[in-house]
Chains A and B, each alone.
Chain A
Amino acid sequence: MPFSSLSDLKTRLDAGETTAVELAQRYLDRIDAHNGDLNAFVDVDHQHILDQAKASDAHRAKHGARPLEGLPIAVKDIFCTQDGPTTCCSKILKGFHAPYDAHVITRLKNAGAILVGKTNMDEFAMGSSTETSAFGACRNPWDVERIPGGSSGGSASAVAGGLVPAALGTDTGGSIRQPAAVCGITGLKPTYGRVSRRGIIAFASSLDQAGPMTRTVKDTAMISAILCGHDSGDSTSVVDAPEIDWLAACESVDMKGLRIGKPKEYFVDGMDAGVRAVVEAALAKCVELGAEIVDISLPHTKYAVAAYYVIAPSEASANLSRYDGVRFGQRCDKPEDLVDMYTRSRDEGFGSEVKRRILTGTFALSSGYYDAYYLKAQQVRTLIRQDFLDAFEQVDIIATPTSPIPAFKIGEKTDDPITMYLSDIFTIALNLAGLPGMSQPCGFVDNLPVGLQWIAPAWREDALLSAASAYEGATDWTTKSPAAFDGNTAGGES
């Protein structure tokens, strides 16, 4: 049961074989048993979860089932919820209780989902390893000495470890796809503007997008169908985004006629040879399924990380100004004056990676440097977007590795931010371009999961789901689960 897909659980609930309360209790037992090892959850309110489940069973009995009726879903601690604290895993938001739900939380609730608590993450989503969390590092269920990726590492670890069947993450530069890849699950970053950002704590507003992290492609579709849609409270939420039949897109069983672009910039020397071999093998499988592999080039890829690490920190430097000790969250003891209150509250409240990015962003926007950094980065962004537009003239979809390396060891890269930033080298470009991307498991290197990333044109999440479900149907990677957590597959460096 712990590794059941969301759609299997739905079938059993609909058939009356189990109840929301029973499911909630079983996942709570899993959390109680294993969260100590994984540190995937930072807040779990047992009674509140059981209360939701009871209400859900009552709703089912009285009015019938809503699309996600009774299904347990965890959310990253970046989503504001009226119930319980919301801290973005930062000390500066210690004790903060939002008086509102994020728009997507409302959508999940209205669809009947049971919210199972808040998952661990890098502080303010700044990181690729979930080591910068104020609650301590989260661990990868395939090898608890290793990172679960980040920043949505808690959500990935919880799903991969069977502590919850599905979770929400957010993705600014790969924060859904990279942890999904290194934890061996499926994750979708929708097109920018597809999902409302209202009530999601902002990191980099022009890049952030929420999405599902699940065990299967169909589960991703089930949740996407609920998450996506216009919200008049978010001016960047697109009004007339093309509609998608999410579940129908998952019925694809082959790839006949599909032209898959293989960008040479994503298969390079220096990446992990094992990862490369696994992804090459996955592409070979796609050819078996009828796809054609087309070698393409995305020539400005090499500038993506640099542009991202100007744009994202610039936006973050302003987005994080509101954490000033004045109205909520951390305020230092006995400030001498206003400046002392600001500097000490922020110094005590923010961790070092967050400070690094605030400083970087503040510098990049400063008078005299703006043109050389921020403006130049925006120009690069335009070129990267154009790269993809050009590529999609030739191909239907693009396939790449999600991460250049499998999960590394906790503490291995914490002193070297630049190497850490390179973990996102394959995921960042499509955030800059606003495109949808997805990661799905495609094999193992030394018993550590490897992810296959799909990239589609804007608003073509259906193309991602179709390709991914055809691949998923022809392989058995999604059936794997870590033996150390009662799963069926050996994990770690055995």
Chain B
Amino acid sequence: MSWETVIGLEVHVQVNSKTKAFCGCSTAFGAEPNTQTCPVCLGMPGQLPVLNIEVARKSVLTGLAINATINLESKFDRKNYFYPDLPKGYQISQFPLPIVEGGYLDIPVPDGEKRIGVTRIHIEEDAGKSMHEGLEGVSHIDLNRSGVPLMEIVSEPDMRSADEAVAYLKQLHQLVRFLDVSGADMEKGQFRCDANVSVRRFGEELGTRAELKNLNSFRFIKQAIDYEVARQIELIEDGGEVVQETRLFDSAKGESRSMRSKEEAHDYRYFPEPDLPPLRISQQEVDAIRAGMPELPGQLRERFESEFSLSSYDADVLSQTRELAAWYETLVAAHPADPKRCANWMANELLGRLKEQGKDIADSPVSAQDLAGLLDRIADNTISGKIAKDVLDAMMATGVSADAVIESKGLKQVSDSGEIDTLILQIMVDNPDQLEQFRAGKDKLFGFFVGQVMKASKGQANPGMVNQRLKDLLKG
């Protein structure tokens, strides 16, 4: 019996504005508890929200990037529920009329691309944080996060496997970072995912779904969905029924448990937020936001392939993040003669070394200008590509320029034909047997002589010249 999995995702993306959604408090992560609060985000009597317009602009930008409709008038609503870390007893959100509706994301799948519908993006405020662990008989509440702006991005139930769900999330994660609308740091809770999962036999109506909460890494998301799919299939095959419920994934145990059933579900009693007038954005503002849209990953990849003739692999690597792409373009600007060499050295050599050190491109001890300096020395034959790798190691360790490394270590390539001839003649004298065999027609030994000369020069001899001179001199 074959089963089809149906997945829809709700992603809470923290908008990276400096201040909160409805007050002037900082959104910086990691401050002492309750130091980034004010009467508004503490829900004090008589306090009123004022929308941070930056949050609306970033939501519009995100909407445009997924080809969605921007609602020029959207509305705020109150979502009512009691919890100690929700100071007002309601969350300001958008319910019937969100700022963005109806877009899509194309995600990579094994046989090409698949289009995943995005139902809506709405603006809402985050709640604070309750802390129970290690406390006896009390709970502590940190309201620094209260009022931090979120975009809730809701997909259509278009995904058919955990892998597709992860691909969608990765694509969305990359997009919001490219757009600079979110830091999307999952460890800091800036990109949080809930998954609605159901199974059905092929061709049948949608099955009953369970909502999985608290999925905080791509790995857990895959684990949680796979676990849930297996659980539901087993349940049905054993003659049981899936009940609509919210389940909490326990990453330590790799399993989920029921948090609340449909009957226990909150009635949020949504109604229009009377403290905020409708959010109106003009078409001109939307057009201006669209005009400021940065190049998106797919566009960058294509441009890198066509403009710089990069392989699709290199183009893909270098368009993974905005920072990488910008770094690459700075490098090409500093070493315009050979964009492919730039790509090769950045993608393979530099990023490989950074990865070993657990660093991002932003932390690279070698700047784009310095790497360009190294590539210039390869281009002008001062050093060979092989020596250049050693030079790059030294640059990574010390942060000094290529020229300084070459100078201090005396690595300059030998391109003087007289010097090279002297080396070659010495090798010929030292290896009479091989010379005789070569002259008798054993051409394979040419490589032996190249190797000996390079070794004798400690790798510094210009390989092209060594080849050229050997051809002349070995003939006798």
A residues near B, CB below 8 A? Answer: 80, 86, 88, 93, 96, 98-100, 102, 197-202, 204-206, 232-236, 314-315, 317-318, 321-322, 324, 326-328, 338, 342, 362, 365-367, 370, 374
Is B241 an interface position by the 8 A CB rule? no
List chain B residues, Cβ under 8 A from A318.
78, 80, 88-90, 269, 271
Q: How far is the CA of A494 from the CA of B47 in the complex (A)?
A: 47
List chain A residues, Cβ under 8 A from B45.
80, 86, 88, 93, 96, 98, 201-202, 322
**12 A–B pairs (Cβ distance < 8 Å), ordered by A:** A99-B44, A197-B48, A198-B48, A199-B47, A205-B274, A235-B49, A236-B274, A317-B80, A318-B269, A322-B43, A338-B84, A366-B269
Chain B 244-300 interface residues, beta-carbon cutoff 8 Å to A = 267, 269-271, 274-277
Given the interface pairs A197-B48, A235-B50, A326-B141, the reply to whether A321 lies near B269 with Cβ below 8 Å is no
List chain A residues, Cβ under 8 A from B84.
324, 326, 338
Given the interface pairs A100-B39, A318-B271, A328-B44, the reply to whether A233 lies near B88 with Cβ below 8 Å is no
Q: How far is the CA of A366 from the CA of B271 in the complex (A)?
A: 10
Q: Contact at B42–A327, with CB atoms within 8 Å?
A: yes
Interface residues on B, range: 20 to 34
List chain B residues, Cβ under 8 A from A234.
48, 50
Q: How far is the CA of A398 from the CA of B44 in the complex (A)?
A: 39
Q: How far is the CA of A362 from the CA of B49 in the complex (A)?
A: 22
List chain A residues, Cβ under 8 A from B44.
98-100, 322, 327-328
A103 to chain B, nearest CB (A): 9
List chain A residues, Cβ under 8 A from B43.
322, 327
Q: Contact at B46–A232, with CB atoms within 8 Å?
A: no
Q: Contact at A201–B46, with CB atoms within 8 Å?
A: yes
List chain B residues, Cβ under 8 A from A86.
45
Q: Contact at B48–A367, with CB atoms within 8 Å?
A: no
Centre residue among A102, A206, A318 by max chain B CB count within 10 A: A318
List chain B residues, Cβ under 8 A from A322.
43-45, 87-89
List chain B residues, Cβ under 8 A from A315.
271, 274
0 or 1 for each of B137-172: is its CB under 8 Å from A? (1 = yes): 000010000000000000000000000000000000
0 or 1 for each of B94-108: is its CB under 8 Å from A? (1 = yes): 000000000000000
A81 to chain B, nearest CB (A): 11
Q: How far is the CA of A98 from the CA of B48 in the complex (A)?
A: 14
Q: Nearest chain-B residue to A193 (Cβ)? A: B277
Given the interface pairs A96-B45, A326-B141, the reply to whether A342 lies near B275 with Cβ below 8 Å is no
Is B82 an interface position by the 8 A CB rule? yes
Q: How far is the CA of A342 from the CA of B42 in the complex (A)?
A: 17
Chain B 180-195 interface residues, beta-carbon cutoff 8 Å to A = none
A412 to chain B, nearest CB (A): 31
Q: Contact at B88–A321, with CB atoms within 8 Å?
A: yes
Q: How far is the CA of A201 from the CA of B87 in the complex (A)?
A: 15
B364 to chain A, nearest CB (A): 44
Q: How far is the CA of A99 from the CA of B46 in the complex (A)?
A: 11
Q: Contact at A199–B46, with CB atoms within 8 Å?
A: yes
Is B388 an interface position by the 8 A CB rule? no
Q: Contact at A365–B275, with CB atoms within 8 Å?
A: no
Q: Contact at B90–A321, with CB atoms within 8 Å?
A: yes
List chain A residues, Cβ under 8 A from B465.
none
Chain B 26-66 interface residues, beta-carbon cutoff 8 Å to A = 39, 42-51
Given the interface pairs A206-B274, A321-B90, the reply to whether A98 lies near B46 with Cβ below 8 Å is yes
Q: How far is the CA of A314 from the CA of B78 in the complex (A)?
A: 11
Given the interface pairs A318-B89, A321-B88, the reply to whether A365 lies near B46 with Cβ below 8 Å is no
Given the interface pairs A96-B45, A98-B45, the reply to whether A327 lies near B271 with Cβ below 8 Å is no
B residues near A, CB below 8 A? Answer: 39, 42-51, 78, 80, 82, 84, 87-90, 141, 267, 269-271, 274-277
List chain B residues, Cβ under 8 A from A367.
267, 269
Q: Nearest chain-A residue to B40 (Cβ)? A: A233
Q: How far is the CA of A315 from the CA of B275 in the complex (A)?
A: 10
Q: Contact at A202–B46, with CB atoms within 8 Å?
A: yes
Q: Nearest chain-B residue to A314 (Cβ)? A: B271
Q: Contact at A321–B46, with CB atoms within 8 Å?
A: no
> Quick one: which of A235, A366, A370 contacts B277, CB cutoff 8 A?
A235
Q: Nearest chain-A residue to B81 (Cβ)? A: A321
Q: How far is the CA of A347 from the CA of B44 in the complex (A)?
A: 20
Q: Nearest chain-A residue to B85 (Cβ)? A: A326
List chain A residues, Cβ under 8 A from B78.
318
List chain B residues, Cβ under 8 A from A366.
267, 269
Q: Contact at B82–A198, with CB atoms within 8 Å?
A: no
Q: Contact at A321–B48, with CB atoms within 8 Å?
A: no
A-B pairs, top 10 by smallest CB distance, nearest first, are: A321-B89, A205-B274, A206-B274, A365-B269, A199-B46, A322-B43, A201-B45, A367-B267, A326-B84, A201-B46
Q: How far is the CA of A201 from the CA of B267 in the complex (A)?
A: 26
Q: Nearest chain-B residue to A79 (Cβ)? A: B46
List chain A residues, Cβ under 8 A from B42.
327
Centre residue among B43, B48, B270 by max chain A CB count within 10 A: B48
Q: Contact at B46–A370, with CB atoms within 8 Å?
A: no
Q: How far is the CA of A291 from the CA of B45 in the complex (A)?
A: 45
Q: How far is the CA of A235 from the CA of B277 in the complex (A)?
A: 7
Q: Contact at B48–A233, with CB atoms within 8 Å?
A: yes
Q: Nearest chain-B residue to A339 (Cβ)? A: B82
A193 to chain B, nearest CB (A): 9
Centre residue among B39, B42, B44, B267 by max chain A CB count within 10 A: B44
Given the interface pairs A322-B87, A366-B267, A374-B271, the reply to whether A235 lies near B48 with Cβ below 8 Å is yes
List chain A residues, Cβ under 8 A from B269.
317-318, 362, 365-367, 370
Q: How far is the CA of A429 from the CA of B88 in the complex (A)?
A: 29
Q: Contact at B46–A200, with CB atoms within 8 Å?
A: yes
Q: How far is the CA of A197 from the CA of B90 in the complex (A)?
A: 19
Centre residue among B51, B80, B275 by max chain A CB count within 10 A: B275
Q: Nearest chain-A residue to B43 (Cβ)? A: A322
Q: How far is the CA of A86 from the CA of B44 in the complex (A)?
A: 12
Q: How far is the CA of A264 from the CA of B87 in the complex (A)?
A: 47
Q: Contact at B82–A321, with CB atoms within 8 Å?
A: yes
Q: How far is the CA of A197 from the CA of B43 in the complex (A)?
A: 15
Q: How far is the CA of A184 from the CA of B450 in the complex (A)?
A: 113
Q: How far is the CA of A233 from the CA of B47 in the complex (A)?
A: 9
A83 to chain B, nearest CB (A): 15
Q: How far is the CA of A232 from the CA of B51 in the complex (A)?
A: 11
B48 to chain A, nearest CB (A): 5
A380 to chain B, nearest CB (A): 15
List chain B residues, Cβ under 8 A from A88.
45
Q: How far is the CA of A202 from the CA of B49 in the complex (A)?
A: 13
Q: Contact at A198–B277, with CB atoms within 8 Å?
A: no
A237 to chain B, nearest CB (A): 9
A3 to chain B, nearest CB (A): 32
A86 to chain B, nearest CB (A): 7
Q: How far is the CA of A412 from the CA of B19 in the complex (A)?
A: 52
Q: Contact at A205–B82, with CB atoms within 8 Å?
A: no
A65 to chain B, nearest CB (A): 30
Centre residue among B42, B84, B269 by max chain A CB count within 10 A: B269
Q: How far is the CA of A244 from the CA of B46 in the complex (A)?
A: 27
Q: How far is the CA of A100 from the CA of B87 in the complex (A)?
A: 18
